[in-house]
Amino acid sequence: MAFDIDMIKKVYANMTERVDAARDIVGKPLTLSEKILYSHLWDGNPTKAFTRGKDYVDFAPDRVACQDATAQMALLQFMQAGKPKVAVPTTVHCDHLIQAKNGATSDLQHAINTSNEVFNFLESVSNKYGIGFWKPGAGIIHQVVLENYAFPGGMMIGTDSHTVNAGGLGMVAIGVGGADAVDVMAGMAWELKFPKLIGVRLTGKLSGWTAPKDVILKVADILTVKGGTGAIVEYFGPGATGMSCTGKGTICNMGAEIGATTSTFGYDESMERYLRATDRPDVADAANQIKDYLTGDAEVYANPELYFDQVIDIDLSELNPLLNGPFTPDLSTAVGSTMNEKAKANDWPLKVEWGLIGSCTNSSYEDLSRASSVAQQALDKGLKTKAEFGINPGSEMVRYTTERDGILEIFEKLDAKIFTNACGPCIGQWARYEDPKNAPKNSIVHSFNRNFAKRADGNPNTHAFVASPEITAAIAIAGRLDFNPMTDKLINENGEEVMLDEPTGWELPPKGFAVDDNGYLEPMADGSGVEVKVASDSERLQLLTPFEPLGDSITGAKLLIKAFGKCTTDHISMAGPWLRFRGHLDNIANNTLIGAVNAFGKKTNFVKNQLTGEYGGVPDTARAYKAAGVKSIVVGDHNYGEGSSREHAAMQPRHLGVAAVIVKSFARIHETNLKKQGMLGLTFANESDYDLIQEDDTFNFLDLNEFAPDKQLTIEIVHADGTKDTIKVNHTYNQSQIDWYNEGSALNLIKKENAA
Ligand code: F3S
């Protein structure tokens, strides 16, 4: 059902051959990250060494995982590819669209009532195209992947930034946008800039109140939220092997918070134990046969400075529990008196109102059992908890097992709310307030990963601090941000002073994992007869129609907006309330570029309609041009489209009739997304030509019929007074990308090739 052992054996068979070849070609010992990357090249055996941080390389990932919010557009696009089945094993997980309010049973039912058409759509598409489907309530994507699909030495991509969690089981697992997932599902190569490598040597041993979470909180403190950008973080050393597999998952999970491409650990006994405990002894056996290939070469770890671009040392024996926040995950404060000083200096509320335990980051059996050992002490020592507890287990298997073992009951005795096995409060899906925007200033502590303003409850005044589950439990009991369980006493109901003992727990359930219904639906072997239903009046889902090719003659195109300054994918396709329309291109297109500042007038969402002379919103103006059969042009500044890999930021302008985006420079992923949608993504050959663009400009492409790799294009710009400027623009299209353009989109081309 869950994993494909034959596929894994094939990966391992390739791995031995390819790693040996790569070592010869690179001419030095290899890190684990390099072993996985070189053994997953699209072209098979390595034939050249790649330059880290420079070369773009085509890879062949083993798996794809999608969550329910991002899967909608990814699957709608995949349906356009004309393939009968996905090309690599793929799963869909319903976890983001479930609100946390009253507790699991009623919250899950509410989610089903409100998002059933989305869940049904995802289920039927999954069934049709051979995709494993995890129902709402089955669990959070990354915990479920770790329990069922992750395997040492594998490569996977997922449409969620915390896909990196699977590094805890020795994978190179990377979060991507839907367009990349579609490529891989459709059997195309997946491109990535060959990452730089950061080595983290872990020595010593975790003990007492310190947990794996503190390792990544420390790394975030050292590297900051940008320090891992473009790099794989590889952990090694005796401290790494001494840690549980799920603890490693926590560390890799929060690699996303330092901007790392991904993080990973070499295969070791903790991973073998986890594989066997999660009913995958054959994966463990297969991994044991090629152990040396599933970790970095010994020479690398002996002299890491020679092989990594950067090396960080952390002695786990010296590490203390940390609280990171508020509002950013890299602001570290040691638990205890330092927090008292900092909170007073910064006016952070010292009173803690909630302690939330769970999310994809920290919801393993070990996490819940250790946190419950702290909670149990509140019961045993007559302590009344000062803050409220909320728990969201990572999977039904963890929930069922922790319920069976009496762990959840401990929290329930403290009046904890046990939320659905889903993201809930981690993604703003926490119905904590009637009116979150005007809710009071307060502090919460959670064991999640992100703590940006409004992330948990929509309240900009909630100060969220990230900590390990055990520290979260202790602080929730004490109700104070500056509580240090290692030194501070609490007063119990009898007026006695008591202290909390160090947490204890089990790495894995002593009686084994168990589950009644894990929430998994296996797709039909032949799904060709499955009908995917989308109501024509649905406001959340809309089947896509293929984009028409723009052709080799674009003339009379009107300027839609000249974006001024920063224009990220959030400016192009805003998130927040618009997330609801992620599966409905026409509806979500109503947010197109509404966050971009118009260079003329410096307002947002206020542009001139050249056909009427009137000013209006960007989407309405684009629709007016489209209705009149006039193509439109977007002009932008530097690094246009930075931010997320959201394909909506390219699909929406395309849907609204934008033919070309001409900018000083692009964020590369967005540039590629424009190409995939069959649009023109161009850069000014002469940057200052940006200044030539006026509000009433019309664009004529003079030599688009000669569109070819490495050849500039020429555009005539006709101004309102009839004067003209002729400019050159550069592009980075190779021949296959020009073929995408000629066919109207990459998916149109795949479909055509399939039909041939
Ligand atoms: Fe969900 Fe939060 Fe993880 S949104 S996937 S629990 S980061």
Task: Put the strands of the sheet holding 155-158 in their side by side order.
Answer: 172-175, 155-158, 63-67, 90-93, 132-134, 520-521
Apex CA 47: angle with CA 44 and CA 49, to 5°? 115
Ligand 1 pocket, 160 CB below 6 A? yes
Please indicate whether residue 273 is annotated as part of the active site.
Answer: no
Model confidence at 484, pLDDT cuts 50, 70, 90, reads: very high
Peptide bond before 326: cis, by omega within 30 degrees of 0?
Answer: yes
* Token pair recorded at residue 544: 């896509």
Q: Residue 416 class from Cβ within 10 Å (0-12 exposed, 13-18 middle, 19+ buried)?
A: buried
Q: What is the DSSP letter of 385?
A: P
pLDDT band per the 50, 70, 90 thresholds, residue 458: confident
The number of C-alpha atoms within 13 Å of 609 and in the hemisphere containing its C-beta is 18
The span from the first CA to the last CA of the chain, in angstroms, equals 33
Whether 66 has a pLDDT exceeding 50, the answer reads yes
Q: Tens digits of per-residue pLDDT, 531-586? A: 998 999 999 999 999 999 999 999 999 999 999 999 999 899 987 778 889 999 99
142 Cβ inside 6 Å of ligand 1: yes
Question: What angle separates helix 245-253 from helix 212-223, to the nearest 10 degrees?
Answer: 30
- From 646, 655, 670, 731, active-site residue: 646
For the question of residue 646 being annotated catalytic, the response is yes
- Cβ of residue 141 lying under 6 Å from some atom of ligand 1: yes
- Residue owning tokens 């019929």: 705
Average pLDDT over residues 475-500: 97
Residue 336 identity: G
- 745: closest CA among 682, 684, 672, 683? 672
Q: State pLDDT tens for residues 348-387.
A: 999 999 999 999 999 999 999 999 999 999 999 999 999 9
Cα of 231 vs centre of ligand 1, distance in Å, is 22
Query: What is the greatest pairwise CA distance in the chain?
Result: 88
**221 given a catalytic annotation:** no
- pLDDT tens track for 414-426: 999 999 999 999 9
Distances (CA, A) of 199 to 232, 233, 271, 494: 8, 6, 20, 51
pLDDT > 50? residue 684: yes
358 contacts 391 by C-beta, under 8 angstroms: yes
- Averaged pLDDT for residues 112-131: 96
Q: Across the strands, what pairs with 333?
A: 323
Residue 39 to residue 99: CA distance in whole angstroms: 41
State the average pLDDT over residues 41-70: 96
Q: Which of 66, 70, 94, 160 to mutate to test the pocket of ligand 1 (most atoms within 8 A of CB)?
A: 160
Top mutation candidate among 93, 142, 363, 452 for ligand 1, by most atoms within 8 Å of CB: 142
Mean pLDDT is lowest, of 60-64, 407-411, 643-647, for 643-647
- The question of whether 668 is a catalytic residue gets the answer no
**For this structure, is 571 an active site residue?**
no
Name the residue of 92, 250, 253, 427 whose CB sits within 8 Å of the most ligand 1 atoms, as the mutation to test its pocket: 427
pLDDT digit string, tens, across residues 583-596: 999 999 999 999 99
User: pLDDT tens digits for 286-308?
Assistant: 999 999 999 999 999 999 999 99
**pLDDT per residue as tens digits for the range 394-404:** 999 999 999 99
Give the residue ranges of DSSP H helices in 212-310. 212-223, 238-241, 245-253, 269-277, 281-289, 298-302
- What SS3 state is found at 313? strand
Sign (positive/negative) of CA torsion 467, 471, 477, 483?
Answer: negative
Indicate the pLDDT class of residue 3, thresholds 50, 70 and 90: low
Domains of the chain: 322-498 (3.30.499.10), 557-755 (3.20.19.10)
Q: If you ran DSSP here, which 8-state letter would residue 16 be given?
A: H
Count of H helices and E strands in the chain? Answer: 24, 30
Write down the catalytic residue from 95, 180, 330, 367: 95
**DSSP-derived secondary structure letter, 8:** H
Closest to 78 in 3D by CA, of 675, 746, 739, 737: 746
pLDDT in tens, 216-226: 999 999 999 88
Q: Which atom of ligand 1 is nearest to the CA of 67?
A: 5
Asked if 95 is an active-site residue, the reply is: yes
Q: Give the nearest ligand 1 atom to 358 CA.
A: 6
For the CA of 450, the closest atom of ligand 1 is 7
CA of 163 from ligand 1 middle (Å) equals 10
Nearest CA to ligand 1 atom 3: 360
Please report, rounded to a whole number, the percentage of residues in the chain having pLDDT higher than 90: 93
| 544 within 8 A of 584, measured Cβ to Cβ | no
> Could you tell me which residue, 458 or 203, shows the higher pLDDT?
203
What's the number of CA atoms in the CB half-sphere (13 Å) around residue 37?
32
pLDDT of residue 1: 44
pTM over 0.90: yes
